[in-house]
Structure 1
């Protein structure tokens, strides 16, 4: 048995903001992928994954009992496959903000959900929201609380535009210019980050009026502008808004940025060689970078591992 492939994702814009109805834009990233397998199941990684799937199957049984109208699974088949040693064979790094648990959730839904919503259907907003709700409940097993966007992106393998929490749609983004100097890149922080503690930290900050005002008047304002600019291909305006967004994140989300990157973050804003932002919840994993000249950025970030994901 070799299941279909599910890819990682990159939330280009909207981290934290989408909790409070900012716009967001998420794209599939095909460099990393995963699939459910039952061959070669004797490795340490396969055994670890199988144990996690076993616990996940129990969680899904409880979820189904609580809310049969939302989703039902072929639990008998799932439990049999798990007992036979099934695991999720994945190249998606965990704790890096590129959707490792999202791809797993999408794979399990695809294989075991009864009366599943398929990618081939006419995906109305209602269907997208139902999928997002199902995936949010499923992925909560891994994160404590999930928007459901990561699995949705992985399942559909399409860019997703988030207008607000109850208004999402699949979208198209400008075709890449592979000869272009502008780029979106991933910067490896060299350490993993955990989503749950970072989200908890954010929710604690949200109790303060000043933080809430900053989020609404600055963070969400610049995030929304970046989403509009990116989708419409307004590169010049995009980089102006990115600079503002990078500044707001450095000033107000410092705990989510690994300490050793604070200086590098500011250097980008000061020189305009690149702008950094959080990739997912932060705290480690990947940092997302944008540059109008990838060669300049590579020079400025010499010694760091850069992975280009999109060219302007």
Structure 2
């Protein structure tokens, strides 16, 4: 048995802001993917994944049946027979490793599932997002449901607010010099502690004001520019966003990268921002000249995501 492939995702814009109802833009990232497989001889990661699926099965049994119900007998049987999630998506890197697993389980075992082929109304998308939020909460406390939604639909998703999400088109890639890239921090990030730091910061009125005014407005402007292909304006806004994150989200940026972050803003060779919740994993980079950014960051591992 081998299930269909589900891809990683990248939240290009909107990290933390979407918790507080500002805009976000997520895109599938096909370089990493996962699928359900079965093996009689489970070793290493496959064995670990199978053990986790046993726990996950017990969690799914307890979910509200009005929201979503599963063929739990078939799921239990498959897990007993050695099912595991075979994935190249790095865990703790902010690219949706648990999201792809959630999408694959929903796809195979959910009753009355909403499929990608039907007309995806706003109601259906919200229902899917709520189902996925409940399913993914098993992995890191509170989930927005966006990672699995992106993985399941394999489409770019524009988050206008918690109650308003829609599939969107992004400009096709050009053969230009500019790029979006991933910078590997070589550290694993944990979502839950980072979100807790953010929630504690939100108790501070000054921080709340910064989020609802500067951070949300700059993020929204970046999304508008990206979707409409306004590259020049985009880099100005991404630079502002990079400064805001460096100033207000220091704990989410691994210590070793504070200087690297500053250097990008100073030289304009590249601008960095958080990829997911931060604390490790990938850092997202934007540059008008990818070769120059590669030279500036030659001591680090970069991965290309999108070309301008």
The verdict on a shared fold, with TM-score over 0.5 as the criterion, is: yes
Structure 2's unaligned 5+ residue stretches are none
2:209 is aligned to: 213
Query: 1:217 Cα shift?
Result: 1.4
Structure 2 contact 39–81 (Cα < 8 Å) conserved: no
Superposition pairs of residues 1-312 of structure 1, within 5 angstroms: 1-39=1-39, 41-63=41-63, 67-177=64-174, 179-312=175-308
SS where residue 305 of structure 2 aligns? strand
In the aligned structure 2, how far is the partner of 1:158 from the partner of 1:190? Answer: 28
Query: 1:232 Cα shift?
Result: 0.4
Query: 1:23 Cα shift?
Result: 0.6
Aligned length: 308
Structure 1 contact 183–308 (Cα < 8 Å) conserved: yes
Query: 1:39 Cα shift?
Result: 2.7
SS where residue 136 of structure 1 aligns? helix
Runs of 4+ in structure 1 deviating by more than 4 angstroms, as ranges, are none
Per-residue Cα deviation, 1:163-188 (whole angstroms, up to 9, x for no partner): 011000000000001x2100000000
SS where residue 283 of structure 2 aligns? strand
Structure 1 contact 41–87 (Cα < 8 Å) conserved: no
Query: 1:22 Cα shift?
Result: 1.0
In the aligned structure 1, how far is the partner of 2:148 from the partner of 2:24? Answer: 15
TM-score (ref. length: structure 1): 0.98
In the aligned structure 1, how far is the partner of 2:168 from the partner of 2:203? Answer: 34
Per-residue Cα deviation, 1:74-122 (whole angstroms, up to 9, x for no partner): 0000000001110000000000000000000000000000010000000
Structure 1 contact 41–86 (Cα < 8 Å) conserved: no
In the aligned structure 1, how far is the partner of 2:196 from the partner of 2:66? Answer: 30
TM-score (ref. length: structure 2): 0.99
SS where residue 62 of structure 2 aligns? helix
In the aligned structure 1, how far is the partner of 2:164 from the partner of 2:123? Answer: 9
Per-residue Cα deviation, 1:231-270 (whole angstroms, up to 9, x for no partner): 0000011000000000000000000000000000000001
Q: Which moved more, 1:23-32 or 1:40-49?
A: 40-49
Structure 2 contact 40–82 (Cα < 8 Å) conserved: no
SS where residue 49 of structure 1 aligns? helix
SS where residue 3 of structure 1 aligns? coil
Structure 1 contact 13–25 (Cα < 8 Å) conserved: yes
Per-residue Cα deviation, 1:120-173 (whole angstroms, up to 9, x for no partner): 000000000000000000000001000000000000000000001100000000
Aligned-residue Cα RMSD (Å) equals 0.6
In the aligned structure 2, how far is the partner of 1:220 from the partner of 1:157? Answer: 26
Query: 1:9 Cα shift?
Result: 0.3
